[in-house]
Amino acid sequence: MGSWHDARMEAHEWREKTKEGTRYFRATYHAGSWKFQKTLKTDPDWEQIPEPDADLWLTLRDILWRRYQRKRGSWSIIEKIDQKLEKDFGILPDGGNE
């Protein structure tokens, strides 16, 4: 059975500079699963990312790791992302000390 944290909704956003302009990313956690979206600064609509790549997962993990260090995040969510990175991409995160 999941913890109380699994039922809470969380959203995290970040941006990256690309050739097309500033690209925004959003990761939303609800009921134990993540949904990723992206958009350009010039586009008001968010596009779903059905299968996020390892880089997106690693970026999200880094954001959550920094929140956890400030006692504002859950270790269990980081563990779940670590398991996904290992299972789906063969990546073994090193505890956030990249």
Rg (C-alpha) for the chain, rounded Å, is 14
Please say if the pLDDT value at position 12 is more than 50: yes
The tokens describing 10, both together, are: 């969380």
Residue 94 pLDDT class (50, 70, 90 cuts): confident
27 neighbors 36 (Cβ within 8 angstroms)? yes
Higher pLDDT, 1 or 5: 5
Beta bridge mates, 96: none
At residue 46, the pLDDT reads 97
Asked whether residue 8 carries a pLDDT value surpassing 90, the answer given is no
Report in angstroms the alpha-carbon separations of 32 from 19, 28, 40, 43.
34, 10, 27, 29
pLDDT single digits (tens) 30-72: 988 999 999 999 999 999 999 999 999 999 999 999 999 999 9
- pLDDT value at position 38? 98
**Any idea of the CA torsion for 48, 44, 16, 30, to the nearest 10 degrees?**
-40
- Report d(CA 2, CA 23) in Å as an integer: 33
Could you read off the pLDDT of 16-36 as tens digits, one per residue? 999 989 999 999 999 889 999
